[in-house]
Amino acid sequence: MAPTAVPEFINIRRNRKTRIVATLGPASSTFEQLKALATAGADVFRLNMSHGEHKDKEALVHTIRAVEREIGRPIAILADLQGPKLRIGTFANGKITLKNGDTFTLDLTDEPGTQDRVGMPHKEIFSAIDAGTQILLDDGKVRLEVTKAETVKAECTVIVGGVLSDRKGVNVPNAVLPLAALTEKDRKDLAFALKCGADWIALSFVQRAADVAEAKKLVAGRAAVMAKIEKPAAVEALDEIIELSDGVMVARGDLGVEEPVEKVPGIQKKIIRKCRLAGKPVVVATQMLESMIKSPVPTRAEVSDVATAVADGADAVMLSAESAVGDYPIEAVAVMDRVARRIENEPDYLLGSRLDTGTYNTRIEDAVTAAARQVAESISACAIVTFTTSGSTALRAARERPKVPILTLTPKMSIARKLAIVWGMNTIKTRDVTSFEEMVGKSQRMAVRSGLAKAGDRIVITAGVPFGTPGATNVLHIAWINKTTV
C-alpha cells in the first residue's frame, strides 16, 4: 500500500506552536479514533514497539497514512524501541516481603526465588557493580545496597523494603552497564519500522554517545533518530548525545527512578535548553496527564506540568497510556491542546527563556535565520517562510522561537513528516523552486492558501542559493502580499 502525497494546497495552520505526540494502542487503533486524535490536536503518532505484533503495527501505519490523506496534514510516525529490559526472576510463592535491614542476595541461578534470594539473569550487571552500589527493584519501590559483589552473585542489604513479586524491573542508577542500547528484538523492530516508513526512531537505554552512533549507522538516513534520556549516564554525556542525535526525548519514567525525583525538573529544563541551542527537537514525556487514563479531567498538578514544559520551550509534549489504553484519549489530547494554546498566548511566553543568539549564530545560515526573526517581529510580518530540502533551514527557524508562524515549504514528503514534531512548524510538500522570482511568488501564494496571510500583509522569506542545496540558508527577503497574489 503505497502512501499518497499530502495535497499541495492545504490549510495546515495549528493555533498552537508546541506539538503533541499521542501513543497508539487498543484505545486508539481505528481510522475513526486516529482521525479524532489528529483533529483534536495530535501531530505525531507513537508506536510503542514493546507491545504488539508487527502485523498490527503495519496496519496502524496504513491507517495513519489514510488519516493523513483525509485531513491534509503531514503526520509523523515515531517508532519507540524497547531497549534492554532488566528483570529479576520468579519466586516459588509468587512474591515475598522484604523489610529494612534484611539481607538479600541476587544471583545468576534460575532457581525460583525465596525469602533470602532471587535470580537476576543479567551477568552484565554483576560485572559493573561494587560494594556500595544501589540496586533498585520494581521502579525503585524496593532499594538494595550491595555489601559484597562477585561475578555470579551480589549480597545486599535492604535499604527500602516492600513487596517484591515475579519479574520486576531492575535499575542500577550509578553504573554504566556494558549493554548495547539495541537488543536483537530492537534490531528486528528497527528493520520493520524503517520498512514501514517510520519518520522517527526513539532509542531507549541510551548511556553514551556511541549508542546513538550505532543506531544512526543502522538507520542510514532513512529516518531521524531520537535519543531517550532516561539514565544518569546519559545526562552526564548529554552534550555528545545531543550532537549525534536528530532529537531528544526527556523520558521521565526511568529517569525519575534512577535520579532523585527532586532533580528531574532541573534536568528537564537543562535538556530543553541544550536541545534548543543545538537546534534539535526535544520531547517531554511520561505521566503528563496520567490521571486521565481513568478520569475525564486531569489534576491541577498535571496541567501545571504540561504548562511548564510548554513555557520552557519544548518542541512537543507526549501522551503515553493516556491515549494508548486510557478511557479518554481524545479528551487528553484536547486538554494538552488547550493548555499549550493558553500558555503560548501569555504575554511573557518564552520571554525568560529566549536564547542568546550570540552563542550559536557564527555561521552565515544561523545569522540569517536569527535576523529573519528579528525582522519579522520588527515589521509585524504575518509569517516567516522557509524553503528546505533537508529540514535544517526549518530547524534553525524553530530554534529562534519567533512570535510569528513558520511556514515551511519542502519538495520531500519525508521531510514534511519529520518536521511535524518540531515547534511552530506549518509544513507543506510542494515542488522546489529554481529561481528567486519563483521563490517569492510561491511564498506569497502558499502563505495565502495556507491561511497565514492575506492581501496587505508582509512575509519574511529565507532560503539557500543555489536552490536545493541542503543547509545553505543565505537569503533573507521581505515580500508584500498583493491583491494579485490573493
Q: Looking at residues 252-258, what average pLDDT do you find?
A: 92
> What is the secondary structure of 406-421 as a DSSP string?
EEEEES-HHHHHHGGG
Q: How far apart are CA 207 and CA 176, in angstroms?
A: 7
Q: Which of 33, 48, 81, 53 is nearest to 328 (CA)?
A: 33
Predicted local confidence at residue 12, as pLDDT:
65
- State yes or no: pLDDT of 444 exceeds 50: yes
**Residue 43 to residues 14, 264, 362, 405: CA-CA distances in angstroms?**
10, 26, 32, 16
* DSSP secondary structure string for all residues of 230-297: -SHHHHHTHHHHHHH-SEEEEEHHHHHHHS-GGGHHHHHHHHHHHHHHHT--EEEESSSSGGGGT-SS
Record the cell numbers describing residue 391, joined without a space: 529540514
Cβ(282)–Cβ(328) below 8 Å:
no
The pLDDT of residue 474:
86
In terms of Cα–Cα distance, which of 76, 24, 60 is closest to 246? 76
**pLDDT confidence tier of residue 4, bands split at 50, 70 and 90:** very low
Which tens digits make up the pLDDT trace of 81-90?
A: 999 999 999 9
Given 18, 63, 105, 286, the catalytic residue: 286
CATH number at 19-83+180-344:
3.20.20.60
Query: How many whole angstroms separate alpha carbon 409 and alpha carbon 432?
Result: 8
User: Residue 33 pLDDT more than 80?
Assistant: yes
Domain ranges of the chain: 19-83+180-344, 95-171, 357-480
Query: Does residue 484 register a pLDDT over 80?
Result: no
> Is residue 485 annotated as a catalytic residue, yes or no?
no
CA dist 111 and 92 (Å) reads 9
One fold for 19-83+180-344 and 357-480: no
Task: Tell me how far apart the alpha carbons of residues 180 and 211 are, in angstroms, rounded to a whole number.
Answer: 7
Is 228 a known active-site residue?
yes
Determine whether 273 is an active site residue.
no
Q: Is 164 exposed, middle or buried (0-12, 13-18, 19+ CB in 10 A)?
A: buried
Superfamily per CATH, domain 357-480: Pyruvate kinase, C-terminal domain (3.40.1380.20)
pLDDT score of 11 more than 60: no
| pLDDT, mean of residues 215-243 | 97
Query: pTM for this one?
Result: 0.93
pLDDT at 8: 47
Query: Which entry of 14, 17, 228, 252 is annotated as an active-site residue?
Result: 228
**87 carries an active-site annotation:** yes
pLDDT greater than 50 at residue 415: yes
Closest CA to 341 of 16, 52, 89: 16
Residue 446: all three cell numbers together: 502558499
| Active-site pick, 87, 153, 263, 449 | 87
Which class is domain 95-171?
A: mainly beta
Instruction: With cut-offs at 50, 70 and 90, classify the pLDDT of residue 250.
Output: very high
CA dist 338 and 76 (Å) reads 21
